[in-house]
Amino acid sequence: MLRIRARSVHPVTAPPIEDGAVLVDAGGSIAAIGPNAQVPTPPEAQALEFADAVLVPGLVNCHTHLELTLLAGKNAEREFAPWIRAIRVLKDASTPAEFSRSAEQGVRDCWAAGVTCVADTGSTGAPLEALARLGARGIYYQEVFGPDPTKCGASLSELAAAVRRLRPLATGRARLGVSPHAPYTVSEPLYRAVAEFARRERLPLAVHLAESREETQLVADGAGPFAEALRARGIPVAARGRSPVQHLVQLGVVQRGTACLCIHCVQVSQRDVELLRQAGAAIALCPRSNRAHGHGTAPLAAFRAAGLTVGLGTDSVVSSGDVDLWSEAAAAGLAGEEALRTLTLDGARTLGLDGEIGALAVGKAADLAVFPLTALLLDRPRPPSTALLTVVAGRVVHG
């Protein structure tokens, strides 16, 4: 058992508790929460006290690429299409052992930042293996690529083989999904096939969507750098006359009844927002990554006004530099309790995990983080991003 006392405890679904405490049972769930004087102190419980800190639910990072941790600082390119090509070259030069170390370091970096759950996309499988091996919590979406419609079958076979290999690892806290990458890397037949595969296998979906102007150019006009690169490979490109969001809705990828995480959603119209609402999509925003590549700013207020569930992600460290979610909240213009709710309960809802995590309440999983008092004051000088303590399912993983 574990008993944690802090100067301030923030349940998120209830008002903050001054001089509060949380008791964690042997099964890794929250057994009690309240003012310190009212929370039991069993003799067998390990007692931890933080007199000048805040205790909050563990943060939820709704979009990462943990297998790319080893590439931090190695790609100075910022123009999007060349940046993606450079990433592909760097990945092709990396070994499975390097990806394994990279993913493990990524998980540990998240823990050090108070993050207790991640939604990760990757192509190597290393992040799911790291999550399972370390007892971490998260969803890993296995990516599939294939812009050539004539090779749809081969791409789908590769995805199915990867899912068969990885599925035994997807137990307990580590879960598995699939991700048809983006409109510039996935053909229309492959999008349809993967969406059907996900429904048949009961796997959640994640898609990079409406991230860049170049993506919109490709889908709407059949033009721009992505279109040119595809044509150079002999792959036909057609103007669809619709936005990327409309494109994936028409293809049946983003639709009600399918758990679909839509990542980025920067280049969207009000019509797109309405389509996402009708489809019951969840949104993962990555403000710092979008800023780094000059994509613009996603319309957070419009998403919220439409009733969409929105969480924040750090994207890859090659774009954002780190996995500090407080910096993402600040970049999104959020502070205080609003920032905390977005990084915890809203993030959990975005991933469909709010029944388990995202708030401090009796019966929920004991995913917790302790930060310096200044952590919630994002309108003041930046606090240290390192958490003082991080707990996943009642187990101390950092601190």
User: The CATH number of the domain where 83 resides is what?
Assistant: 3.20.20.140
Which has the closest alpha carbon to 21: 372, 390, 304, 370? 370
Cα angle value 38/40/43 (rounded, 5°): 150
Is 345 part of a structural domain of the chain? no
Q: What is the pLDDT of residue 112?
A: 96
C-alpha span between 46 and 19 (Å, rounded): 18
Which has the closest alpha carbon to 389: 14, 24, 102, 63? 24
C-alpha span between 269 and 33 (Å, rounded): 43
Is 120 part of a structural domain of the chain? yes
Is 153 part of a structural domain of the chain? yes
Residue type, 217: Q
109 and 199 in a single domain? The answer is yes
C-alpha span between 279 and 346 (Å, rounded): 18
Decide which of 274, 299, 323 is a domain's last residue: 323
33 and 177 in a single domain? The answer is no
76 and 141 in a single domain? The answer is yes
User: For residue 167, what are the contacts with CB-CB under 8 A and spacing of at least 6?
Assistant: 176
Which has the closest alpha carbon to 318: 70, 91, 72, 66? 72
Measured in degrees and rounded to the nearest 5, phi and psi for residue 9 equal -115, 130
Burial grade of 31 (CB within 10 A; 0-12, 13-18, 19 or more):
buried
Is 338 part of a structural domain of the chain? no
* Cα distances (Å, whole numbers) of residue 390 to 116, 136, 343: 7, 11, 15
Q: What is the pLDDT of residue 350?
A: 98
Say what the alpha-carbon torsion angle 263, 115, 397, 30 is, to the nearest 10 degrees.
Answer: -110
C-beta atoms surrounding 26 within 10 Å: 12
Q: What is the CATH number of the domain that holds 386?
A: 2.30.40.10
75 and 52 in a single domain? The answer is no
> Model confidence at 385, in pLDDT bands (50, 70, 90)?
low
Is 331 part of a structural domain of the chain? no
Q: Which two tokens stand for residue 30?
A: 């929250």
48 and 16 in a single domain? The answer is yes
Strands (E), the chain: 2-9, 17-24, 30-35, 46-57, 59-64, 115-122, 137-144, 174-180, 205-209, 260-264, 282-285, 309-312, 368-372, 389-392, 395-398
198 and 134 in a single domain? The answer is yes
Average pLDDT over residues 289-296: 93
Supply the DSSP symbol for 383: P
206, 260 Cβ separation under 8 angstroms: yes
109 and 20 in a single domain? The answer is no
Say what the alpha-carbon torsion angle 359, 361, 362, 364 is, to the nearest 10 degrees.
Answer: -10
Alpha-carbon dihedral sign for residues 106, 141, 149, 161 = positive
191 and 286 in a single domain? The answer is yes
32 and 137 in a single domain? The answer is no
Is 184 part of a structural domain of the chain? yes
Convert the pLDDT of each residue in 137-168 to its tens digit. 999 999 999 999 999 999 999 999 999 999 99
On the question of pLDDT at 380 being above 70, the answer is no
> Model confidence at 368, in pLDDT bands (50, 70, 90)?
very high
49 and 198 in a single domain? The answer is no
Decide which of 323, 349, 382 is a domain's last residue: 323
> Model confidence at 74, in pLDDT bands (50, 70, 90)?
confident
Q: What is the pLDDT of residue 199?
A: 96
More confident position, 77 or 133: 133
- The chain-wide mean pLDDT, for the chain, equals 94
Measured in degrees and rounded to the nearest 5, phi and psi for residue 350 equal -60, -35
Q: What is the pTM of this model?
A: 0.96
User: For residue 253, what are the contacts with CB-CB under 8 A and spacing of at least 6?
Assistant: 180, 191, 192, 194, 195, 205, 207, 260
Burial grade of 309 (CB within 10 A; 0-12, 13-18, 19 or more):
buried
Is 284 part of a structural domain of the chain? yes
* Cα distances (Å, whole numbers) of residue 135 to 127, 138, 287, 329: 12, 10, 29, 27
69 and 112 in a single domain? The answer is yes
Convert the pLDDT of each residue in 317-334 to its tens digit. 988 889 999 999 999 999
C-beta atoms surrounding 337 within 10 Å: 13
7 and 43 in a single domain? The answer is yes
On the question of pLDDT at 381 being above 70, the answer is no
Which has the closest alpha carbon to 389: 20, 24, 56? 56
Cα angle value 180/186/187 (rounded, 5°): 130
* Cα distances (Å, whole numbers) of residue 351 to 12, 160, 376: 17, 23, 23
User: Domain total for the chain?
Assistant: 2
**Which residues constitute the domain of residue 253?**
59-323
Average pLDDT over residues 196-216: 97
Is 332 part of a structural domain of the chain? no
